[in-house]
Structure 1
Amino acid sequence: MGVIVWWRLILVLVSGILFSLLQPCASLPKGRNDYSFMKNATSAPKVSYYDYIVIGGGTAGCPLAATLSQNYSVLLLERGGSPYGNPNVTEAVAFGAALSDLRPTSPAQRFISEDGVINSRARVLGGGSCINAGFYSRASLHYVTEAGWEGKAVNDSYEWVEKVVAFQPVMGPWQSAVRDGLLQSGVVPYNGFTYNHINGTKVGGTIFDPNGHRHTAADLLRYANPSQITVLLHATVHKILLTNPSKGKSKATVAHGVIFRDSTGAKHKAYLKNGPKNEIIVSAGALGSPQLLMLSGIGPEAHLKAHNITVVLDQPFVGKGMSDNPMNAVFVPSPTRVDISLLSVVGITSFGAFIESASGENFAAGSPNDYGMFSPKIGQLSKVPPKQRTPEALAKATELMESLDGVAFQGGFIFEKIMGPVSTGYLKLRNRNPNENPSVTFNYFQDPRDLERCVQGISTIEKVIDSKAFAPFRYPNMPVKMLLNLTAKSPVNLLPHHTNTSTSLEQFCRDTVMTIWHYHGGCQVGKVVDRDYKVRGVNRLRVIDGSTFLSSPGTNPQATVMMLGRYMGVKMLRERLANE
């Protein structure tokens, strides 16, 4: 027992020393991120060797790679391009522009779930933090405990992230009215501005600075050791190379390299250097990570064989447990012009729904670029069926919308997101092309508890709209029931609607379900990976991203996903240093 205690003390001391060494320098580079280590994959050698290979330069991959590069050589492979220099990514006023861009080079790749809800996944360095609405909020203490994370290291990792990407939002009239309306509706207490997840109403953080410029996970590469890291853009990984031992032997499968292609289609191979502690980490997101494991031969045996994929490891849980937090919104037309605001205020209810809001033309429509949620360009609320969503069809729909009086789109949305959720689905391959989207089913509201929370959430929104604080932003002759009916008649998804005026709130939830882009699962902890995010049955392979989550953390997962990349990077270095 004495030896064990002594060894734990040594680990604590080593951990403290290492973590202090890994803390950011007093003066981080400011302004532009001119990364000399960031290159197009076409410049990559045919064969290369690294201590760590990170697949996916997203919300988790960037902080993870930056941390590991402090002590070891790291290759970070990103299938998309750079976020820098693209105003559709970097500017708050252009929110939605990337989501409406259907080109193969867009930072957002659209997909439609089998449920009929239009969605999007990131295809850019920085991942989802480049195309989201920017809200920054930590996970709850309960979530951290359930995940088995160490509290102080979690807080240190959050702070490491926040020094670069998080800001206090500027509160305009709309967000202030929603905040006060939530308090008057009983979502109390008021917790002021905080990153912490606390029941009641609060002002959360944002990754948009006071000038409206977005700061993403890619900015965390400022922490990287430039001599130890290589970031390759437009590098699509097609396969993880696995050594499959002969049948009858007890040795586990071992990951030792990857095959990726550049934008010209040229093939490259990257291998791990010799050494049992060198690893491949998959951080390709909730769609990309289970998809890549399957393409590499790790997944349900029958499904892999159906796609003529050699089965390396029969893992029936890969692709299972897929969830997307359902969002339901109420559009509120305003008699006066409203300010443009992204998510700043949240009501964290006791019954398991989160109430948020956004306003202005970039969320409704009618701006010169017409990137609002009602816009056919976004597609989330488009009547145009998927197979008919051609550039010509979208142009025609946009022309019709532009003919409408701009006052019709003057206002904003108040929406609610379900905690969890409890309902789950699954992901399957459509084909063997990693550039194409897999098939995913989320089974929204399959569990009645999710539907109950939605009803309570919509009821809370009704109270906010009817509150004295929100009165300046609503027409007095438009009762809430009329607003619900207006929203229900909008083409919010590809599901059949029940648009009669007597529709119940349960039916409203089912009819108007949308995504808030917080989908997760597919490589869950306890099923596909262990508590250290190591793939079960495979050595030298981990998955570190939102695909491992059993539920979505807090009101927005991006802060926790960035934290997780940093947290696990520190933990891996700490354990490796102790062993060496």
Structure 2
Amino acid sequence: MGFPTLPSLIGIFFLIASGFAEKAPYSFVREGTSAPPVEYSDYIVVGGGTAGTPLAATLSAATAKVLLLERGGQPYGNPSVTNINGFGRTLADPSPTSPAQQFVTADGVFNNRPRILGGGTAVNAGFYSRAEPEFLSRLGLEPRLVEESYRWVEDKIVFRPLVRQWQAGFRGGLVEAGVVPDRGFTYEHLMGTKVGGTIFDENGTRHSAADLLEYANSNNIVVYLNSIVQKILFRTSPGQKPKAIGVIFKDSAGVLHEARLNNGSSNEIIVASGALGSPPLLMMSGIGPGRQLQAHQIPIVLRQPYVGRNMVDNPFNGVIFPSRRQLEYSLVEVAGLPDTNNYLESISMSLNFSALHASAQNYAKIANTTLPTFEIPNNIYLPSGVNTTTPFQAGQLLEKIKTPFSKGDIELENRDPDRTQRVTFNYLKDSRDVASCVEGLKIIKRVTESNSLSSFRYPLASFTTYLALGLAFPTNLNVKRLSSLYSLSHYCVDTVRTTWHYHGGCQAGKVVDRDYKVIGVDALRVVDASTYDQSPGTNPQATIMMLGRYMGIKILQQRSN
């Protein structure tokens, strides 16, 4: 009897799952404190984020027993997470249980690491856009299964945005600035100006990757929350590859548990903890650069010098455009894809610089340093009511460097997997990235001068006004130079911020093979953005969720064979 064709296999998965699917929140999602001392599963997925949740949901649709371990809590019942208006509050939350754990890179840029079921999709700006076809082709993915996997995600959690006044104006401004043609609404990666998808519905309710667990077979899956995996366990024998056999995780009460794989050649552990989590976990488990492991007295399972290398976060820069009109609260809905090394996006809201500076002080405290500030010179025009002490209406026009040349690494500072380890992205260290940033800001300048934004623009405001407000917006620990008001290259360096589009550290071809299996060991894969050498599309969440679904099906195909 031959193996089922892909369409019939997918149909079987849906048929099996449909009778046992649940709506969120789920009965199979529990606190890690309820876990037994030892639990056995066919698949252990480490990380319930953007890739891990679709992967676990797909694996559970067959007869395999799936355990998903997530270091954070539930997204449901938390308005700061589930409602669009909570976006800023979530990122500013410095508490020990924050869904967006704050940290500062070694190069001084303020950042957040997701700590919640749904991962980055539970705390991000929601924009949904597929990857460029060249990226998918380079990964060696099957186009038909890629398409099905994207649609599987889109059918559950992706919506067409409303595109109200500010986003419509930004869209028109991009077209006037030469970012053409206007592609209208599409999920596809097309050059020009486009309206993409969003994971916020028309009521502003977020639908994160956690909602993809509605596809899961509730009989075959258990999810433990607030469960921090300490290390992966291996069986080693002379002359054979090390084999992953389980993990040790800690619950919120500090109690250690073991999760073990059942006997079976197809059973495996899949790490999906993201670019900030997966490389350190491999190192803490004994897979990584020998010198680092020895420095932390970690027994070496496999010397792997590329773990933690080639870390990238696409630099983000922008300006603050004060509006004389009331604006909708909007996150990213429109993207500009020019013929330069940039992507362009915008958000709009009421800006409160006092609150922003209070949040920035938390980051400075994390870095154990003093927060640099920027005083806007008196000769710079600011409209009446626009200042750094009271809230005002504003749009932020942002450019992201599409393919940065600057790369860094992540290194162990300690052996605590819940802490973000020392990561250096080397933002804009390569002069070619500075040049790309300048190109992007020049396009943004043309957008701010467009007729489409004329009804929002204060008549006397200039691009220098927008730059001055951008310098006063705290995004990093860099000293802000007055010269940045007149030099875009200085401005880029002084105001660089994160896009949260981290990738690298477990790159395909170096740490994992084309099936995402860790090279040199058995029964262990990494499936997340740490395997990428670039961030797919304008925003990566669509393709990371697609990859989780895609690899779930591929793994089940291999199991059936």
TMscore range, shorter length:
over 0.9
Task: Tell me the SS of whatever aligns to 1:387.
Answer: coil
1:376 aligns to what? 358
Cα distance change on mapping 1:532 and 1:470 into 2, 3 Å: same
Asked whether the 8 Å contact 1:333–1:408 carries over to 2, the reply is no
Q: CA shift at 1:24, angstroms?
A: 7.5
Q: CA shift at 1:20, angstroms?
A: 2.1
Q: CA shift at 1:386, angstroms?
A: 3.5
Is 1:559 equivalent to 2:546 in the alignment?
Answer: no
Asked whether the 8 Å contact 1:100–1:379 carries over to 2, the reply is no
Decide which of 268, 271, 288 is 1:282's aligned counterpart: 271
1:4 aligns to what? none
Task: Tell me the SS of whatever aligns to 1:456.
Answer: helix
- The correspondence of residues 303-314 of structure 1 with structure 2, limited to 5 A, is 303-314=292-303
- The whole-number CA distance in structure 1 between the counterparts of 2:471 and 2:96 is 32
Task: Tell me the SS of whatever aligns to 2:277.
Answer: helix
Is 1:217 equivalent to 2:209 in the alignment?
Answer: yes
- Runs of 4+ in structure 1 over 6 Å off: 24-31, 382-385, 402-407
Is 1:136 equivalent to 2:125 in the alignment?
Answer: no
Is 1:43 equivalent to 2:34 in the alignment?
Answer: yes
Is 1:163 equivalent to 2:160 in the alignment?
Answer: no
Q: CA shift at 1:96, angstroms?
A: 1.3
Decide which of 166, 185, 190 is 1:193's aligned counterpart: 185
TM-score, with length taken from structure 2: 0.93
Task: Tell me the SS of whatever aligns to 1:95.
Answer: helix
Cα distance change on mapping 1:135 and 1:375 into 2, 3 Å: farther
Decide which of 307, 326, 332 is 2:315's aligned counterpart: 326
Aligned residues with identical type, % of pairs: 50
Whichever residue aligns with residue 16 of structure 1, its letter is P
Q: CA shift at 1:453, angstroms?
A: 1.6
2:65 aligns to what? 73
Asked whether the 8 Å contact 2:21–2:214 carries over to 1, the reply is no
Asked whether the 8 Å contact 2:464–2:485 carries over to 1, the reply is no
2:377 aligns to what? none
Decide which of 346, 356, 367 is 1:386's aligned counterpart: 367
Cα distance change on mapping 1:405 and 1:144 into 2, 3 Å: closer
Q: CA shift at 1:403, angstroms?
A: 12
Cα distance change on mapping 1:203 and 1:406 into 2, 3 Å: farther
Is 1:425 equivalent to 2:408 in the alignment?
Answer: yes
Whichever residue aligns with residue 499 of structure 1, its letter is L
Task: Tell me the SS of whatever aligns to 1:410.
Answer: strand
Asked whether the 8 Å contact 1:118–1:379 carries over to 2, the reply is no
Decide which of 504, 510, 533 is 1:521's aligned counterpart: 504
Whichever residue aligns with residue 469 of structure 2, its letter is L
2:143 aligns to what? 151
Q: CA shift at 1:19, angstroms?
A: 1.8
Asked whether the 8 Å contact 1:23–1:160 carries over to 2, the reply is no
Is 1:116 equivalent to 2:97 in the alignment?
Answer: no
- The whole-number CA distance in structure 2 between the counterparts of 1:485 and 1:285 is 35
Asked whether the 8 Å contact 1:187–1:200 carries over to 2, the reply is yes
Decide which of 168, 191, 200 is 1:208's aligned counterpart: 200
Task: Tell me the SS of whatever aligns to 2:344.
Answer: strand
Cα distance change on mapping 1:403 and 1:468 into 2, 3 Å: closer
Cα distance change on mapping 1:516 and 1:70 into 2, 3 Å: same
Q: 1:345-382 CA deviation, whole Å, 9 max, x = no partner?
A: 10011112011000012xx227xxx86xx3523669x7
- The whole-number CA distance in structure 2 between the counterparts of 1:184 and 1:533 is 43
Is 1:21 equivalent to 2:12 in the alignment?
Answer: yes
Is 1:64 equivalent to 2:46 in the alignment?
Answer: no
Q: CA shift at 1:28, angstroms?
A: 9.9
1:510 aligns to what? 493
- The whole-number CA distance in structure 2 between the counterparts of 1:383 and 1:25 is 51
Decide which of 428, 444, 461 is 1:461's aligned counterpart: 444
Q: CA shift at 1:488, angstroms?
A: 2.5
Cα distance change on mapping 1:190 and 1:453 into 2, 3 Å: same
Q: 1:500-538 CA deviation, whole Å, 9 max, x = no partner?
A: 366321111111100011111111101100010000001
Whichever residue aligns with residue 365 of structure 1, its letter is N
- The whole-number CA distance in structure 1 between the counterparts of 2:306 and 2:365 is 35
- The correspondence of residues 317-356 of structure 1 with structure 2, limited to 5 A, is 317-356=306-345
Q: CA shift at 1:405, angstroms?
A: 7.9
Q: 1:539-568 CA deviation, whole Å, 9 max, x = no partner?
A: 000000011110000111111111000000
Cα distance change on mapping 1:93 and 1:478 into 2, 3 Å: same
2:252 aligns to what? 263
What is the count of residue pairs matched by the alignment? 547
Q: 1:172-205 CA deviation, whole Å, 9 max, x = no partner?
A: 1100100000001100001101111100000011
Cα distance change on mapping 1:108 and 1:467 into 2, 3 Å: same
- The whole-number CA distance in structure 1 between the counterparts of 2:281 and 2:386 is 45
Is 1:233 equivalent to 2:225 in the alignment?
Answer: yes
Q: CA shift at 1:48, angstroms?
A: 1.1
Asked whether the 8 Å contact 2:21–2:215 carries over to 1, the reply is no
- The whole-number CA distance in structure 2 between the counterparts of 1:86 and 1:334 is 31
- The whole-number CA distance in structure 2 between the counterparts of 1:82 and 1:385 is 25
More divergent stretch after superposition (333-342 vs 122-131):
333-342
2:552 aligns to what? 569
Q: CA shift at 1:236, angstroms?
A: 0.6
- The whole-number CA distance in structure 2 between the counterparts of 1:24 and 1:205 is 28
Q: 1:36-88 CA deviation, whole Å, 9 max, x = no partner?
A: 11111111110111000000000100000000011110000001111100001
Q: Which runs of 5+ in 1 are unaligned?
A: 1-6, 391-401
TM-score, with length taken from structure 1: 0.90
1:300 aligns to what? 289
Q: CA shift at 1:111, angstroms?
A: 1.0
